[in-house]
Chains A and B, each alone.
Chain A
Amino acid sequence: MAQARASKTTSSAASSGDFPPFSQRHLLSIADLKQHEIVDLLDRAEAMVPVSRQERKSHPTLSGKTQINLFFEPSTRTQGSFEIAGKRLGALVMNMSVKTSSVSKGETLVDTAATLNAMRPDVIVVRHSAAGAVELLSQKVGCAVINAGDGAHEHPTQALLDALTIRNHKGRISGLTVAICGDIANSRVVRSNLLLLGALNVRTRVIAPRNLLPAGIEHLATEVFTDMREGLRDADVVMMLRLQHERANGRMIPSVREYYRFYGLDAEKLSFAKPDAIVMHPGPMNRGVEIDPAIADGPASVITDQVEMGVAVRMAVLDALLPARNEI
Chain B
Amino acid sequence: MTRPLLIENARIIDPASGTDAKGAVLVENGLISDIALGAPVGVPEDAEVVNANGLILAPGLIDMRVFTGEPGKEYRETLASAGEAAAAGGVTSFVMMPDTSPVVDDGALVDFLIRRAKATSKVNVLPSGAITKGLAGQEITEFGLLQEAGAVCLTDGRHSIQSSALLRTVMSYAANYGMTVIHHVSDQSLTGDGVMNEGLFATILGLKGIPREAETIPLARDLQLAALTGAKYHAAQISCAASVDLMAAAKKRNASITSGISINNLALNENDIGRYRTFFKLGTPLRSEDDRQAVIEGLRSGAIDTIHSDHDPQDTEVKRQPFAEASDGAIGLETLLAAALRLHHSGDVDLMTILRAMTSRPAEILGLSSGRIAKGAPADLILFDLDYPWQVSERDLRSRSRNTSFEGARLAGKVMRTIVGGETVHVHIE
Known: A131-B205, A132-B205. A216 touches B325 (CB 8 A): no
A215 B200 Cβ-Cβ under 8 A? yes
Rounded to whole Å, the gap between the CB of A253 and the closest CB of chain B is 17
A215 B203 Cβ-Cβ under 8 A? yes
Known: A108-B317, A110-B320, A220-B203. A215 touches B209 (CB 8 A): yes
- Residue ID in chain A nearest B200 by CB atoms: A216
* Residues on the B chain within 8 Å of A26, using CB: none
Q: How far is the CA of A154 from the CA of B204 in the complex (A)?
A: 9
- Residue ID in chain B nearest A191 by CB atoms: B206
* Residues on the A chain within 8 Å of B201, using CB: 216
Known: A132-B205, A220-B204. A108 touches B323 (CB 8 A): no
Residues 201-226 of A at the B interface (beta carbon under 8 Å): 214-217, 219-220
Q: How far is the CA of A191 from the CA of B322 in the complex (A)?
A: 19
B169 within 8 A of A: no
Q: How far is the CA of A133 from the CA of B278 in the complex (A)?
A: 11
Residues 271-286 of B at the A interface (beta carbon under 8 Å): 275-276
Tell me the count of chain A residues lying within 8 A, CB to CB, of chain B.
24
A153 B206 Cβ-Cβ under 8 A? yes
B203 A131 Cβ-Cβ under 8 A? no
B36 within 8 A of A: no
Q: How far is the CA of A130 from the CA of B205 in the complex (A)?
A: 10
- Residue ID in chain A nearest B320 by CB atoms: A110
Interface residue tally of chain B, by bracket? 20 to 34
A150 within 8 A of B: yes
Complex partner residue of B324 from A151, A214, A217, CB under 8 angstroms: A151
* Residues on the A chain within 8 Å of B351, using CB: none
* Residues on the B chain within 8 Å of A110, using CB: 320-321
Rounded to whole Å, the gap between the CB of B204 and the closest CB of chain A is 7
- Residue ID in chain B nearest A218 by CB atoms: B200
A2 within 8 A of B: no
B317 A131 Cβ-Cβ under 8 A? no
A131 B324 Cβ-Cβ under 8 A? yes
* Residues on the B chain within 8 Å of A109, using CB: 321-322
Rounded to whole Å, the gap between the CB of A46 and the closest CB of chain B is 29
Complex partner residue of A128 from B204, B275, B322, CB under 8 angstroms: B322
Q: How far is the CA of A258 from the CA of B322 in the complex (A)?
A: 36
A108 B203 Cβ-Cβ under 8 A? no
Known: A151-B206, A153-B205, A191-B206. A132 touches B322 (CB 8 A): yes
B199 within 8 A of A: yes
Rounded to whole Å, the gap between the CB of A213 and the closest CB of chain B is 9
Known: A191-B206, A215-B209. A130 touches B325 (CB 8 A): yes
- Encoded as 1 (CB less than 8 Å from any B CB) or 0, chain A from 132 to 176 comes to 110110000000000000111110000000000000000000000
- Residue ID in chain A nearest B325 by CB atoms: A130
B268 within 8 A of A: no
B207 within 8 A of A: yes
Residues 156-212 of B at the A interface (beta carbon under 8 Å): 198-209
- Residue ID in chain B nearest A133 by CB atoms: B322
A188 within 8 A of B: yes
A131 B323 Cβ-Cβ under 8 A? yes
* Residues on the B chain within 8 Å of A153, using CB: 205-207
Q: How far is the CA of A31 from the CA of B205 in the complex (A)?
A: 11
Rounded to whole Å, the gap between the CB of B300 and the closest CB of chain A is 29
Residues 67-85 of A at the B interface (beta carbon under 8 Å): none
B198 A215 Cβ-Cβ under 8 A? yes
* Residues on the A chain within 8 Å of B321, using CB: 108-110, 136
B199 A215 Cβ-Cβ under 8 A? yes
Interface centre among B199, B200, B209 (most CB of A within 10 A): B200
* Residues on the B chain within 8 Å of A130, using CB: 322-325
Q: How far is the CA of A151 from the CA of B324 in the complex (A)?
A: 10
* Residues on the B chain within 8 Å of A154, using CB: 206
* Residues on the A chain within 8 Å of B207, using CB: 131-132, 151-153
- Residue ID in chain A nearest B203 by CB atoms: A214
Q: How far is the CA of A191 from the CA of B317 in the complex (A)?
A: 30
Q: How far is the CA of A292 from the CA of B209 in the complex (A)?
A: 33
Q: How far is the CA of A111 from the CA of B143 in the complex (A)?
A: 45
A132 B275 Cβ-Cβ under 8 A? yes
A136 B322 Cβ-Cβ under 8 A? yes
Rounded to whole Å, the gap between the CB of A203 and the closest CB of chain B is 20
Known: A215-B209, A220-B204. A131 touches B199 (CB 8 A): no
Q: How far is the CA of A133 from the CA of B206 in the complex (A)?
A: 11
* Residues on the A chain within 8 Å of B205, using CB: 131-132, 153
A215 B202 Cβ-Cβ under 8 A? yes
B203 A135 Cβ-Cβ under 8 A? no
A135 B275 Cβ-Cβ under 8 A? yes
* Residues on the A chain within 8 Å of B323, using CB: 130-132
* Residues on the A chain within 8 Å of B325, using CB: 130, 133
- Encoded as 1 (CB less than 8 Å from any B CB) or 0, chain A from 251 to 267 comes to 00000000000000000
Rounded to whole Å, the gap between the CB of A190 and the closest CB of chain B is 10
A217 B322 Cβ-Cβ under 8 A? no
- Residue ID in chain A nearest B275 by CB atoms: A135
Residues of B within 8 A of A (CB): 198-209, 275-276, 317, 320-325
Can you list 22 A-B pairs, Cβ within 8 angstroms, ordered by A? Answer: A130-B322, A130-B324, A131-B207, A131-B323, A132-B205, A132-B276, A132-B322, A133-B322, A135-B275, A135-B276, A136-B276, A136-B321, A153-B205, A191-B203, A191-B204, A214-B203, A215-B198, A215-B199, A215-B202, A216-B200, A217-B203, A219-B200
Residues of A within 8 A of B (CB): 31, 108-110, 128, 130-133, 135-136, 150-154, 188, 191, 214-217, 219-220
16 other contacts beyond A152-B207, A188-B206, A215-B200, with CB at 8 A cut-off? A108-B321, A130-B323, A131-B323, A132-B275, A133-B325, A136-B276, A151-B324, A153-B207, A154-B206, A191-B203, A191-B204, A214-B209, A215-B202, A216-B201, A216-B204, A220-B200
Q: Ordered nearest first, which 6 A-B pairs have the shortest CB separation?
A: A216-B200, A153-B206, A132-B276, A130-B322, A133-B322, A131-B206
